[in-house]
């Protein structure tokens, strides 16, 4: 076997079946593109389908579902199991935020942010658990955390709290399921240019300039660059890694002054 074949084999996900929540656009779609290119069949659990211009025929399958409706999620998952006969990975990508100072933050928004960003990854992981532990490749769970797990950001305190909690969720699940054939990790994105924040930066160039000053590499990430880390954590190259968080932030969390 030559080097090219060896590397390709490590990262080949042909035959793997899994879920990426919120893979209709942005970082989730970037991850789905990488995983499908590596051969995986990816089910996109989202309230909206991925757009026609981003269509990935055959390998990215839309499941229209509110991921906070756990009964609906479980029903759809059972249909996937009936069809595919397996589940190898779950990527908890969905997340929400709301901007307000701590003393003014509406209680219902606090509940929403903590529910979507922290409770839901736990609940979906629990629902997927009996199938993931049967994976011939070792079941994998990857949850998208954030630099907000390491750094304070003004005006989004519940988001900061929820993403810090993802690190605890990752370590706790990894410990509890260490003997159950499941590896659990998380990935912390930095600043990425998506359609969502491109409009914001267009209206506020100063904010864009400030964001570009954070990473050591002085550029925004491409959504596929999150996908490459997720691919690594789902691949045979990461069989001895669990309970860890991996910043993909261009050096932002390590940047001094």
Query: Which are the catalytic amino acids?
Result: 159
Q: Alpha-carbon distance 229 to 243, whole Å?
A: 15
Which of 3, 34, 44 has the alpha carbon at shortest distance from 235? 34
Task: Compute the Cα dihedral for 8, 10, 13, 15 and give only its sign.
Answer: positive
Which of 53, 48, 52, 78 has the alpha carbon at shortest distance from 63? 48
Helices (H), 38-179: 70-84, 107-114, 120-132, 157-176
Q: What is the chain's alpha carbon radius of gyration, rounded to the nearest angstrom?
A: 18
- The answer to whether residues 165 and 157 touch, using CB atoms and an 8 Å cutoff, is no
Phi, psi of 184 (to 5 degrees): -130, 125
């Amino acid at each position: 076997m030559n080097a090219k074949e060896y590397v390709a084999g490590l990262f080949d996900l042909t035959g793997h079946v899994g879920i990426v929540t919120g893979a209709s656009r942005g970082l989730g779609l970037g991850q789905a593109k990488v995983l499908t290119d590596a051969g995986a069949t990816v089910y996109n659990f989202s309230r909206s389908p991925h757009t026609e211009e981003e269509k990935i025929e055959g390998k990215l399958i839309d499941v229209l579902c509110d991921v906070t409706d756990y009964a609906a999620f479980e029903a759809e998952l059972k249909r996937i199991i009936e069809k595919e006969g397996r589940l190898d990975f779950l990527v908890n990508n969905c997340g929400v935020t709301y901007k307000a100072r701590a003393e003014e933050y509406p209680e219902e928004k606090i509940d929403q942010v903590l529910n979507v960003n922290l409770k839901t990854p736990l609940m979906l992981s629990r629902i997927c658990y009996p199938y993931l532990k049967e994976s011939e490749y070792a079941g994998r769970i990857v949850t998208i955390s954030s630099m907000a797990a390491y750094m304070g950001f003004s005006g989004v305190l519940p988001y900061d709290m929820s993403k810090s909690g993802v690190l605890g969720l990752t370590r706790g699940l990894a410990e509890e399921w260490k003997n159950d054939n499941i590896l659990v990790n998380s990935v912390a994105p930095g600043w990425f240019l998506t359609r969502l924040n491109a409009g914001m930066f267009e209206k506020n160039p100063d904010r864009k300039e400030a964001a570009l000053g954070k990473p050591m590499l002085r550029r925004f990430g491409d959504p596929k660059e999150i996908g490459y880390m997720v691919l690594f954590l789902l691949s045979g190259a990461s069989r001895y890694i669990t309970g860890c968080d991996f910043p993909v932030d261009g050096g932002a969390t390590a940047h001094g002054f």
